Structure 1
Amino acid sequence: MQNIKNKINQIKELLKSWEYAYYVLDDPIVEDSEYDFKLNELKQLELEYPELITADSPTQRVGGQISENFEKYNHKFPMLSLDNAFNDNDLYDFDKTIKKETINENYTYFVEPKIDGLSISLIYQNGIFIKGVTRGNGIQGEDVTFNIKTIRSLPLSINDKEDYFEVRGEVFLSKKEFQRINDERKKNNEELFANPRNAAAGTLRQLNSKIVASRKLDVFLYYYLNREKIKTHSDSLDYIKNIGFKVNPLGKLCKNINEVIKHISYIESVRQDLDYEIDGAVVKVNEFKYYDDIGYTSKFPKWATAYKYPAEVKITNLKEIFATVGRTGKITYNAILEPVSLAGTTVQAATLHNAEYIFTKKIRVGANVKVKKAGDIIPEIIEVVNDEIYSNLKTWEKIEQCPACGSDLEIFSDEVDQYCINFNCERKIIKSLEHFVSRGAMNIEGMSIKIIEKLYENKIINNVTDIYNLKSKKNEILSLEKTGEKSFSNLINAIEESKKNDASKLLFGLGIRYVGSKTSKLLLDKFKSIQTLMSADITEIESIHDVGPKVAKSIQDWKKIDSNIILIQKLSELGINMNSLKQIVKENKNIKDKSFVITGTLSKPRNNFVELIEINGGKVLNSISKITNFLLAGDDAGSKLDKAKDLQVNIINELEFLQMLEGNNEN
C-alpha cells in the first residue's frame, strides 16, 4: 500500500508542477496529451484505492458537485472596499494624507492593475485549500469552495503549513474565454453576458460546479493576511508567488507619488493588449508598519486607493437605425454599428432612446460616431464625427407608424416619446407578458422572453390570465422544441408559487403607466388590496405622499377600461393574491420613522435593502434633500454622495447599516 501511496504522490506532484507552468507561468512544459495521460493514470489509481484520495488531488478540480445553495460565511477579517481617485490631483491629495500620518518616515507605494472581476478570499489549513468565500457585504460572504477548486491556476496545496493561511484576490474571465462562452450561448439561443465581470460573477455562483469548470475561470492574488513574518506588500506578493499563487506581473514598487502616476499611465497604455479586463489601478502604501497609524474608515483602508480609468472611446460607423416597441407602446430607437472592440467586448449596437435624442445629437445613418460604454456596460453614442462622410448624408427622419403593427404613433402633450396605442399590437402584448413575469413583478422563473414568444406564436398564451392555465396545456407545451418534462414541471411550480406574492408585485406587473415598483408598494400600503385601490377615487390616490396627480390620473384612466377590471376579477378567481402581505415585523428604533436614500453598488440588489428598511419602520426616498436622515452609500455612489455631503446628511455604508439593524428593537 505504501508503494501505491508513493506513486500517487509522485503523480500529484508532477501534475501540480505542470499545472503551475501552464496556468500560472503561461509556459507549458508538456503536451496536453501527456498531461491527460498522467491525469487518467491518477484517476485509475484513485478508483482502485479511494481511501487515498485527498482534497488537493488534481482529480478534485473537475467539478460535478451540485449545491442547493451557498452557505454564509463570516470573514475573520472584514473585506473592505477602496476609496477612488480619478485624476492626478486626487492622487496628490492621497499622498498628502499619507505624508501627514507618516511624518519624517520613509514610505513607498506599490501599484498594480485593478482587475475587473469578483473579490474572493481563500483559506488554507496546514497547507491544504479548505475554503473559498466571496466578498459579500464585506462582513459575510458566500462559501463557493467547490466552484473555486475548479480554477486551474489556484494551488490546492501550498508549502506554507500554518494552521490558518488566508490570501485574497480577484476571480476573472479572460477576454478570449468570455467571447467563447458568449458564442456558445448565442448558438443555444441563451441570453448573452454583458461583460466578463458579469460572466465571472454568474459563473462563480453557479450551483453546478461542472458548469463552472467548463468556463475556465482564473484568479490573480493580491493580498496576504498573515503579515507577522513579512514587512511589506511587495515582499508578501513575492512570497505567495513563490509558493504557487498567480500574481499579476504588472505590479510595481514605486518610490514616490510621481512614480505612481507614471506607472498608472503605463498600465493604461497596455490595457487593451491584456487578455483580461481592468478598470483602473490600485495604489497601496508598501510598508505594513504604517497601516494602523494611517488607519481605516468603516468602509475602506486609508492606506490604499483605486485609480479609475476614464471610459474608453472608439470611433465606428453607424450602419442603421431601427425602432422597437415596448410593453407600454413606447418607441425606442436603436443603432446598428460596425462592430468595434470596446472595454473588452465587441459592440455592435447602442440605444438612441427617442427621436428627440437623435435630432439633438444630429445623428445620421452612415455617419462615423464616437462610442463609449456608460459605466463600462451600456454602449452609448457620444457624438457624430463631422467629417467629409457626414456632410453628404441625409437628415434622419423619424417613423410615423408602429414597427410591429403599423398603427399610427402618437406623442402625448407633456412628453417627447412616441407611442403605439393599439391594444392588439402583438409586440406590446409580448413585452407586457415579459414584464408581468419579470423578477420585480410576479417573478416567474423559467419564463424567458423566448419561451413567451414561443407560447404566443403557438397561440398557447395571449394574455396574463393564460399563464395561470398553462397546467392544462401540458401536451401542447411538451410538443414544442426543446421543452422537456422537467422544464415544464419547474415552470408550473414557479407559476403556482407566484400566486402567493404580495399584491404590490401584481400591481406593478399589470404595467399601469407611471406605476412602478415603489409606487405599487405605496398604494398597497394605503389601500391594502387591489380591489380597494380600484374602488378609490382620484382624490384619495393623489393624496398619498410620493404618488401625486399624474399617477392618480393614470390609474383612474386604466380602471375605466372594462377589460382591465375583468382582468382583475379573473386573476382573483385564479387564486392570485390581491392583498398586501406587508406588515412591520419589527420596529427598530434606529430605523423607525427615518428616511433613507440608497445609492451605489451594494452586496445585494437595492430591493433587499428597501425591504429591510420598510419592515423596520423606515421609508426609502429617491432623492437627497434636507429631510433625508441617511444616505446608504455603496461603491461608485456618484452625485448623491456629493449632495449628501453638501446638505450634511448622515452617510452610512452597508456595514454601518447592518449594525443599525442589530440595534435595540421596539416590539
Structure 2
Amino acid sequence: MSTPSDDQVESFDSDTELAAAKARWSELAERINEAREVYHGTARELMADAQYDELFHELKGLEERFPELRSPDSPTVQVGAPVASDFERVRHPERMLSLDDVFSLEEVEAWYARMERALGKQPEVVCEVKIDGLAVDLIYDDGVLTRAATRGDGREGENVTANVRTIAGLPHELPAPFPRRVEIRGEVYFPSDKFAELIAAQQEAGEKVYVNARNAAAGSLRQKNAKDTAKRPLAFLAHGLGVWEESKDAPLPTTQSDFIDTLKRWEVPTSDAARRATNFDEIREMIAYHGEHRHDLAHEIDGIVIKVDSLAAQRELGVTSRTPRWATAYKYPPEEVTTRLLDIRVNVGRTGRVTPFGVMDPVFVAGSTVSLATLHNQDEVKRKGVLIGDLIVLRKAGDVIPEIVAPVVDVRDGSEREFVMPKDCPSCGTALRPAKEGDVDLRCPNRKDCPAQVTGRVEHVGTRGALDIEGLGEEAAIALTQPEAQRDEVLAALASGDVIEDEHRNQLRIDLPADADEAARLKAAQELMPEPSAPALANEGGLFALTQDDLLDVFVWRREPPSPPIIGDLPGSADEVTAAIEAAGDAPNVTAEKIWCRRPYFSKSRSTVQWRSRQGTKRAFRVCQEVAPNAVATELLGGLEAAKTKDLWRIIVSLSIRHVGPTAARALASHFRSLDAIRDASVDQMAEVEGVGAIIAQSVADWFEVDWHRDIIEAWRAAGVQLVEEASADAPEQVLEGLTIVVTGSLEGFSRDEAKAAILDRGGKAAGSVSKKTDLVVVGENAGSKETKARDLGIRIIDEDAFVALLAQGMDALD
C-alpha cells in the first residue's frame, strides 16, 4: 500500500485546479463513504481494503493541499459509524478515537522518530496485536460493571450491557482495590475456529452467512435478546484505558503496561501477545514475528498497534480530530492465493455507479472463504489484464471482499475471453455514461426509475444512519421494488426441464421431448411462466403509504422444497378432513429437494398439514385456512409508522442526497428547522451553516432542483412523515440568534462539540475560524492562533464563566 503519488495530487492545472480538486474530492468521498457502509453492514456495493486505503490517502492529500475542501462529513474526520437506534444511545465518558494506519516499516520508524523528537528522548512503547473485532467500551463503577457500549461514532455508542454480560470470562465485579470509575476499552471477537463452525451451520440451514468473523461478532453482539447473544461463543480482550477516577487505594497507573497488569489482576481478559519495546529494532521484531504467525492466535489480526507506554507522555502528545498522536497501527500486507476467475459481472449501486466484480471458484484466504472480488471499473479490468477463465492472484487482508491482483498468464490455454463492459444498464437498459467529462466510472443516468438504484435507495432509508427501520433491509427492499429479480434464473431452470412452483402451489414443467432444441424449450418455458408481479413500490416515495394489503400481494422467487398440495380452503371436522384426503388420492412424496417456488414475502398461509402413510411411504396434504401478515410485514409496518416522527436529520439522510451524511444533516436540521426551509435556502445560506460548507450546500441545492425528488418529499408529507424539527418543551431560548461565536482552547465544563451544540441550540452560529464576521471568541486553556487573530481584529474575547452566562442570558449578560 502506498500513499498517492505527486501526480495524483499535483496534476491540477493552475486555472482549474480547485474545480478539479472539488470534483475529485466528491468522487473520493462518495466511494469511501459507501465502502464504510459496507464495513458496517449497510450497503451492497463492495470495495477491497487496499483500495479503500489508497482512496483514503488520496483524499487526505487533497484536503491538505486544499483545506477549503474539508467538511465535518469528510471521511478523513469521521470515526466509526452512525449509532443504531435498536439500542439506547449513550455518550462515552471520553471520546473513542480511531488509529492512523501505516503500511511500511519506514512509516513506523518515521512515527517513532517523531515521538522521540516530541518527548526529547527515546520512548518506550507497547506493541499489541490489532484484533479484527468490534470495539467496545466497559464502565465499572465502584468495581461493578454498570455499562457496556459499542464505539458508534466515537462520541456516542449503543448500550449493549445486557449482551456483553453474557460473554464468558468477563468479570461483572472487580476485586479490590479498584477506582471509583474506570473505563476499559477492548474488542469483542468471534474465535476463528468457532467462526468456521458457524458458517457451516448457516450454510446447512440455508441462512445468509456472515462474510467474516468481525461481522459475526458485530451481529452476535447486537442481538435484541441477550439470550441469543449468549448462544454465540463471543470473547473479549481489553487493550485501552479511557477514564480512571482515582480512589485512595487505586491511583492512576503510570504506564500502559501497568494498566494491563492491573487488568490481569482483575482477571479482565487481555492479549498474551502484547510486548514492551525500548527501541525500533524490538518493534520490527514484533511485527515480523506476528506477520509469520498471524493465524496462530484464537482471533483474526490485521496488524500491530504501537503505543507510547507512558500515560503522562500520551497526554502530553495529545490527539488530532480523530486519532491519537501517541499511537499508530502497522497493517500487514494483504494475503495472496490463486483461484479461477469464472466470470466478470457488474453491479449497479444506489448512486448509479456500475462496478465490475469477479466471480471465482471459492477459496479460503485470510480467515474466510470468498467467491467474489472487486474490479472497481472497466479501466481497472484492462489495466490488470485479466480475462474470464484466467487463473488469478487474489489478495485479501481482513476486508469484506478481496481484490484481484493479476492473472497468471503462463498457464492460459486459449479458452479465456475478454470482459466487455456493458453499454447499457443491466438493470433498466439505459445507456451508461460518465457523470461528468473525464470520469472513469460509468453510471446509469436513469436515477428515477432504474430498479437497482430504486432498490438501493429504499434499502438506504432503512439503514441505521438514516431512519433505522426494522424490517427494511436488503431482501425486503428487493421484494418491494424487484419481486421478479430472479425471473431470468427461474426461466432458465424451467427451459432446462426443471420443475417450478407458482404462487398457487401448482407445479409446472415444460412438456417437450428431451431432444427439443434450445429455442423451442425457451419458447415453451416463456409461455408457461406465470405473469410477472408488479413491484409494490415504484420508488421510495410510496414507502410510507404502504398498507397491509399492499404487502400481502408481494411474491418473490425462492429455491425451496415444494409444498404439499392444498386439498381444501377451510378445515372441517376430523371426518371431513379425512374424507378430503381420501378424495385427493395419491400425493407426491415428501421431499427435501429444492426447486424454484414463487412465495409470498410478507405473508403466511395459516394451514394444517395432514399426514398419512401408504405402503410405508409418508405423504402430506396441506389444508389452507387463511392468509395473514407474517412477522416481517408486522415489523416493517410498525417500523415505518415509528419512522414518521423521527428526527428531521434522519429524514434528510434518508433522501440519498450526495455527500450529506449524519453530521451535515444534523447541522441543516438544527439551523433551518424544516425541510421546506432547507429547500428555499440559497447555496450561500446553507454553506454558512457550521458543518455544511460549499460542496455539500451545492449538492443539496442540486437535489431540490429535480422535480421527482420534490415529489418524494410531498408523498412522504402526505403519508404523515414529520418534515420539521419539533422544538422540545425544554428547548433553550434563542438568546444567541444572529451571533457568530468561535470557541478555542480547552474548557472545563464543555467538550468542543458540547460548546458548539450549546451555541447552535440557542440560535447562534458556531464558527470554526475567526474572521471579521465573528462576534465573540470564547477562550479556554491552551488557546492558540485563533485568540491571537481575534485580538488583532479587535473582536471581543470572553472566558468560560462569561460563556456560561452568555448561554443563559445572551448578550445582556456581558453588558
Identify if the C-alpha distance between structure 1 residues 264 and 426 changes in structure 2 by more than 3 Å, giving closer, same or farther: closer
Q: 2 CA distance for matches of 1:237 and 1:95?
A: 22
1:339 is aligned, of 359, 362, 374, to 362
2:431 is aligned, of 409, 415, 426, to 409
Once the two structures are overlaid, the 10-residue window that deviates more, 389-398 or 137-146, is 137-146
Q: Secondary structure at the match of 2:302?
A: strand
CA deviation profile, 1:87-109 (whole Å, cap 9, x unmatched)? 4344445555666688799x855
1:177 is aligned, of 194, 199, 204, to 194
Does structure 1 residue 380 correspond to structure 2 residue 403? Answer: yes
Does structure 1 residue 152 correspond to structure 2 residue 168? Answer: yes
Q: Which residue of 2 aligns with 1:461?
A: 536
Identify if the C-alpha distance between structure 1 residues 484 and 96 changes in structure 2 by more than 3 Å, giving closer, same or farther: same
Q: Secondary structure at the match of 1:334?
A: strand
1:214 is aligned, of 231, 234, 241, to 231
Partners of 1:295 and 1:302 within 8 A in 2:
no
**Residue 387 (structure 1) shift:** 3.4
Does structure 1 residue 111 correspond to structure 2 residue 124? Answer: no
Q: Which residue of 2 aligns with 1:634?
A: none
Identify if the C-alpha distance between structure 1 residues 292 and 421 changes in structure 2 by more than 3 Å, giving closer, same or farther: closer
Q: Which amino acid aligns with 1:259?
A: E
Q: Secondary structure at the match of 2:347?
A: strand
**Residue 473 (structure 1) shift:** 1.4
The two structures have a TM-score, normalised by structure 2, of 0.53
Does structure 1 residue 297 correspond to structure 2 residue 318? Answer: yes
Q: Which residue of 1 aligns with 2:412?
A: 389
Q: 2 CA distance for matches of 1:386 and 1:587?
A: 71
Identify if the C-alpha distance between structure 1 residues 460 and 470 changes in structure 2 by more than 3 Å, giving closer, same or farther: farther
Partners of 2:536 and 2:550 within 8 A in 1:
no
1:499 is aligned, of 644, 650, 668, to 644
**Residue 131 (structure 1) shift:** 5.4
- 1:74-113 aligned at under 5 Å gives the runs 75=93, 86-93=103-110, 95-96=112-113, 109-113=125-129
Q: Which amino acid aligns with 2:347?
A: T
Q: Secondary structure at the match of 1:468?
A: helix
CA deviation profile, 1:43-70 (whole Å, cap 9, x unmatched)? xxxxxxxxxxxxxxxxxxxxxxxx9844
Partners of 2:541 and 2:711 within 8 A in 1:
no
Identify if the C-alpha distance between structure 1 residues 527 and 361 changes in structure 2 by more than 3 Å, giving closer, same or farther: farther
Partners of 2:191 and 2:213 within 8 A in 1:
yes
Q: Which residue of 2 aligns with 1:308?
A: 331
Q: Which amino acid aligns with 2:474?
A: I
CA deviation profile, 1:388-416 (whole Å, cap 9, x unmatched)? 428873332223444345x3634367355
Partners of 1:330 and 1:420 within 8 A in 2:
no
Q: Which amino acid aligns with 1:149?
A: R
Q: Secondary structure at the match of 1:495?
A: helix
Q: 2 CA distance for matches of 1:417 and 1:378?
A: 21
Partners of 2:536 and 2:551 within 8 A in 1:
no
CA deviation profile, 1:455-503 (whole Å, cap 9, x unmatched)? 4536471324543343341782763489866543432232223334677
Identify if the C-alpha distance between structure 1 residues 577 and 96 changes in structure 2 by more than 3 Å, giving closer, same or farther: closer
Q: Secondary structure at the match of 2:399?
A: coil
Q: Which amino acid aligns with 1:178?
A: F
Instruction: Please say which structure displays the higher CA radius of gyration.
Output: 2
Q: Which residue of 1 aligns with 2:381?
A: 358
Q: 1 CA distance for matches of 2:678 and 2:454?
A: 27
Q: Which residue of 1 aligns with 2:546?
A: 470
Identify if the C-alpha distance between structure 1 residues 266 and 398 changes in structure 2 by more than 3 Å, giving closer, same or farther: same
**Residue 328 (structure 1) shift:** 5.9
CA deviation profile, 1:84-134 (whole Å, cap 9, x unmatched)? 6554344445555666688799x8554332223344455668877665555
Partners of 1:614 and 1:620 within 8 A in 2:
no
Partners of 1:98 and 1:294 within 8 A in 2:
no
**Residue 431 (structure 1) shift:** 3.9
- 1:125-136 aligned at under 5 Å gives the runs 132=148
Determine what percentage of the aligned residue pairs are the same residue: 26
Q: 2 CA distance for matches of 1:350 and 1:329?
A: 19
Q: 2 CA distance for matches of 1:123 and 1:390?
A: 61
Identify if the C-alpha distance between structure 1 residues 206 and 613 changes in structure 2 by more than 3 Å, giving closer, same or farther: farther
Q: Secondary structure at the match of 2:285?
A: helix
Q: Secondary structure at the match of 1:366?
A: coil
Q: 2 CA distance for matches of 1:229 and 1:520?
A: 40
Does structure 1 residue 447 correspond to structure 2 residue 472? Answer: yes
Q: 1 CA distance for matches of 2:684 and 2:176?
A: 72
Q: Secondary structure at the match of 1:273?
A: coil
Q: Which residue of 1 aligns with 2:633?
A: 488
Partners of 2:739 and 2:764 within 8 A in 1:
yes
Partners of 1:128 and 1:157 within 8 A in 2:
yes
Q: Which amino acid aligns with 2:444?
A: Y
Does structure 1 residue 419 correspond to structure 2 residue 444? Answer: yes
Identify if the C-alpha distance between structure 1 residues 409 and 344 changes in structure 2 by more than 3 Å, giving closer, same or farther: same
1:272 is aligned, of 271, 295, 302, to 295
Partners of 1:123 and 1:165 within 8 A in 2:
yes
Partners of 2:344 and 2:359 within 8 A in 1:
yes
Q: Which amino acid aligns with 2:459?
A: E
**Residue 264 (structure 1) shift:** 1.9
Q: Which amino acid aligns with 1:348?
A: S
Q: Which residue of 2 aligns with 1:321?
A: 344
Q: 2 CA distance for matches of 1:345 and 1:392?
A: 29
Q: Which amino acid aligns with 1:275?
A: A
- 1:1-16 aligned at under 5 Å gives the runs none
Q: 2 CA distance for matches of 1:372 and 1:547?
A: 35
Identify if the C-alpha distance between structure 1 residues 545 and 320 changes in structure 2 by more than 3 Å, giving closer, same or farther: same
**Residue 423 (structure 1) shift:** 7.0
Q: 2 CA distance for matches of 1:515 and 1:247?
A: 39
Q: Secondary structure at the match of 1:279?
A: strand
1:262 is aligned, of 285, 302, 308, to 285
